[in-house]
Amino acid sequence: MDKLRIIGNGPLNGEIKISGAKNAALPLMCAGLLTADTLYLRNVPMLADVKTTQKLLQGMGVRVFTDNISEFEINGSAVNNTCAPYDLVKTMRASILVLGPTLARFGEAQVSLPGGCAIGSRPVDQHLKGLETMGAEIVIEHGYVKAKAPGGKLKGARVVMDMVTVGGTENLLMAATLAEGTTILDNCAVEPEVVDLAECLVKMGAKIQGIGTATMVVEGVDKLHGCEHSVVPDRIEAGTFLCAVAMTGGKVVLRHAAPKTMDAVLDKLVEAGAVIEAGDDWISIDMRQRPKAVNIRTVPHPGFPTDMQAQFMAVNAVAEGSSRVVETIFENRFMHIPELNRMGADISAEGNTAVVNGVARLSGATVMATDLRASACLVIAGLVAEGETTVERLYHLDRGYEHIERKLSAVGAKIERITA
Ligand code: EPZ
């Protein structure tokens, strides 16, 4: 298994190009199931999860072509299998996003129930409840969700989600575009990746009102057509690099970024003492001092994102002062704490609240990643730790970051991938 070897080094300086957002690319690829035309996607990050989604769609008969750099052509004219198998779904929970579009277009779908993962049980009850409200008949059998739409079509309905769910909103939004009649989705997630999907669906001919708000109204249409769409820049990748500079000091400019999707994170970095400037598609950070400790509470967008919690905890670990980090979205998203403490951090957690007492220096160690963002947190901690840090189980990191070691070494980090 690959590892990253990192030597604690000085400030980072230079430019980094941000990739397209993983959490937008995955639902956008699944939207290809909604039409017999071709969906052209650009700015797609070449990540493990994108390749898994490609395999999943191809297994259903979707024609998928890619330049293996950043472009995909997805054509759903020859879909001949409405089943998403366990062996793929178990490697990527987001496979559940084929359920809504497949059921809406073909009147039936069988998707292996995604298990939990390291950060929590991650149920999909809201996805299923919403589809049943739209007329679907759903049974759970042998670990599979088996769904049918009577008469082959879902019916427009009013769906109120019990909590803000990104995947639930995306699945139900895609299903509603081809339902008979009008669907009102209430308590929607408004994450930029949900907005990006909705904007692409409108380009495909969907009729959606209220994009970017908690209530979307979707007037079902008979069919959707293809379109061209560029994936929104990855705000979490961008936030991860900004946290790295907040820890190491230096001046870095992020290109192809989307600062307008990152207000909460940028505000917290300014509070920590960073000088941030931003234009339409770039963000610069200038960090000339040790960061100041900053309290964090993760909430749905536009609040502080749960996917940035681990990375900001690394900043707080070396900050001046103490801070509290409260994780309100997932029940088990503090697994980076014991690994940071092995690097000399002083963090204690009780329930969903962690208290972080900043220390002047971390010390390099061999650490183990347990989930995607915990991995990123350990990598950026290694950039400032004294001596050598080895981050193991890189398959987590490779699911969400495109060439992270290349991007970081280009701005002065001492980091290399060791392929075992
Ligand atoms: C998406 O996951 C992202 N993944 C996650 O990013 C992100 O952390 C999460 O949204 C929250 O922003 C993708 O977009 C592929 P949710 P998702 O449904 O859709 C509960 C990363 O690191 N819930 O918004 O699975 C759930 O348990 C990943 O890039 C139910 O109870 O998240 C959680 O507590 C990690 N029932 C909360 O809602 C449901 O039916 C939010 O989950 C659905 C969700």
pLDDT digits over 336-373, tens only? 999 999 999 999 999 999 999 999 999 999 999 888 99
Ligand 1: nearest atom to the Cα of 170: 19
Each residue of 261-308: pLDDT tens digit? 999 999 999 999 999 999 999 999 999 999 999 999 999 999 999 999
Q: Is 367 exposed, middle or buried (0-12, 13-18, 19+ CB in 10 A)?
A: buried
Contact between 229 and 57 under an 8 Å Cβ cutoff? The reply is no
Q: Please give the full DSSP string across 118-137, using - where no structure is assigned.
A: TTB----HHHHHHHHHTT-E
Ligand 1, atom 44: closest residue by C-alpha: 165
- Strand order across the 83-84 sheet: 83-84, 108-112, 144-148, 137-141
pLDDT surpasses 80 at 411: yes
Q: Whose CA is nearest to atom 14 of ligand 1?
A: 23
Sheet of 63-66: strand order equals 63-66, 72-75, 38-42, 227-230
- Is residue 204 packed enough to be buried (19+ CB in 10 Å), middle (13-18) or exposed (0-12)? buried
Q: For 334, list phi and psi in degrees, rounded to 5.
A: -120, 20
Cα dihedral 384, 341, 240, 398 sign: positive
Q: Is this prediction's pTM over 0.75?
A: yes
Residue whose CA lies nearest to ligand 1 atom number 22: 307
Residue 204: pLDDT band with limits 50, 70, 90: very high
Averaged pLDDT for residues 75-83: 96
What is the tens place of the pLDDT at every residue in 212-257?
999 999 999 999 999 999 999 999 999 999 999 999 999 999 999 9
What pLDDT sits at residue 19? 98
- Nearest atom (ligand 1) to Cα of 120: 27
- Cα–Cα distance for residue pair 27/41, rounded to 1 Å: 12
Is 377 annotated as catalytic? no
Question: 141 burial class (0-12, 13-18, 19+ CB within 10 angstroms)?
Answer: exposed
How far apart (Å, rounded) are the C-alpha atoms in residues 247 and 348? 20
Nearest CA to 365 out of 2, 118, 8 is that of 8
The C-alpha atoms of residue 147 and residue 138 are separated, in whole angstroms, by 4
**Span 1-57, pLDDT tens digits:** 889 999 999 999 999 999 999 999 999 999 999 999 999 999 999 999 999 999 999
Mean pLDDT, range 67-89, rounded to an integer: 95
Mean pLDDT of 70-80: 97
Q: Find the mean pLDDT for residues 314-332.
A: 97
pLDDT at 118 over 90: no
Instruction: Say if ligand 1 is within 6 A of residue 166 CB.
Output: yes
Alpha-carbon distance of 211 to 417, in angstroms, equals 41
